[in-house]
Amino acid sequence: MRRTIKLFTLTAAIALFAASAFAQVKECNEENKAAWYQTFLDNFRKEPPQQKIAYDAAKQYLTSCPEDPNDQQYKYMKEKFVIPYEAMQAGANTGKQFEDAIKNNKYAEQVRIGKLVVASDPDNVKVYIIMGVAGLNDPSVLPDSAQYAKKAIELIETGKPFAPLFEGNRDKVLANLNYTIAKATIKSSPAEAIPVLLKVARYESEWKKSWQVYYDLATAYKEGPRAKLTDEYKTKIAPDGTETPESKLVLANLNQMIDRQIDALARAVAFSDAEHKKAITDELTELYKYRNKSDAGLAELIASAPSKPLPEMPAPITSLPSTTTGGSPSGNNGASQPGTTSGAKPAGNTGPTGTATGTQTTKTGGAKPAATPTPKPPRRSNHRRG
Q: What is the 3-state secondary structure (H, E, C) of the chain?
A: CHHHHHHHHHHHHHHHHHHHHHHHHHCCCHHHHHHHHHHHHHHHCCCCCCHHHHHHHHHHHHHHCCCCCCCHHHHHHHHHHHHHHHHHHHHHHHHHHHHHHHHCCCHHHHHHHHHHHHHHCCCCHHHHHHHHHHCCCCHHHHHHHHHHHHHHHHHHHCCCCCCCEHHHCHHHHHHHHHHHHHHHHCCCCHHHHHHHHHHHHHCCCHHHHCHHHHHHHHHHHHHHHHHHHHHHHHHHCCCCCCCCHHHHHHHHHHHHHHHHHHHHHHHHHHHCCHHHHHHHHHHHHHHHHHHHCCCCCHHHHHHHHHHCCCCCCCCCCCCCCCCCCCCCCCCCCCCCCCCCCCCCECCCCCCCCCCCCCCCCCCCECCCCCCCCCCCCCCCCCCCEC
Residue 149 CB-half CA count within 13 A: 26
Domain boundaries, the chain: 25-104, 210-318+340-379
Report how far Cα 310 is from the mean position of its chain's Cα atoms: 23
pLDDT score at 374: 40
Let me know: does 182 contact 196? Beta carbons within 8 Å.
Answer: yes
Neighbours of 202 (CB within 10 A): 15
pLDDT score at 8: 37
Q: How far apart are CA 98 and CA 84, in angstroms?
A: 21
Neighbours of 313 (CB within 10 A): 16
The reply to whether omega before 164 is within 30° of 0 (cis) is yes
Residue 141 gets the label, from left (phi > 0), alpha (psi -120 to 50) or beta, of: alpha
pLDDT score at 357: 34
Tens of pLDDT along 122-178? 999 999 999 999 999 999 999 999 999 999 999 999 999 999 999 889 999 999 999
pLDDT score at 7: 38
Q: How far apart are CA 365 and CA 195, in angstroms?
A: 32
Q: How far apart are CA 197 and CA 191, in angstroms?
A: 10
pLDDT score at 84: 80
Q: Which residues contact 323 (CB under 8 A, 6 or more apart)?
A: 337, 338, 339
pLDDT score at 185: 97
Predicted model pTM? 0.67
pLDDT score at 47: 86
Q: Which residues pair with 347 in a beta bridge?
A: none
The reply to whether omega before 329 is within 30° of 0 (cis) is no
pLDDT score at 355: 34
Let me know: does 193 contact 186? Beta carbons within 8 Å.
Answer: yes
Let me know: does 265 contact 257? Beta carbons within 8 Å.
Answer: no
Q: How far apart are CA 209 and CA 230, in angstroms?
A: 30
Which of these, 28, 36, 25, lies nearest to 77 by C-alpha position? 36
Buried b (16+ CB within 10 A) or exposed e, 324-341: eeeeebbeeeeebbeebe
pLDDT (tens, 9 = 90+) of the chain, 386 residues, equals: 444 434 333 434 333 333 333 334 479 999 999 999 999 999 988 888 898 899 999 999 999 999 999 999 999 999 888 888 777 776 678 888 999 999 999 999 999 999 988 988 899 999 999 999 999 999 999 999 999 999 999 999 999 999 999 988 999 999 999 999 999 999 999 999 999 999 999 999 999 999 999 999 999 999 999 999 999 999 999 999 999 999 999 999 999 999 999 999 999 999 999 999 999 999 999 999 999 999 999 999 999 999 999 999 999 999 998 764 443 333 333 333 322 333 334 433 444 333 333 333 333 333 333 333 344 433 443 444 33
Q: How far apart are CA 310 and CA 324, in angstroms?
A: 33
Residue 116 CB-half CA count within 13 A: 16
pLDDT score at 91: 66
Q: How far apart are CA 107 and CA 299, in angstroms?
A: 41
- Helix 83-103 with 107-120: angle, nearest 10 deg: 150
pLDDT score at 146: 98
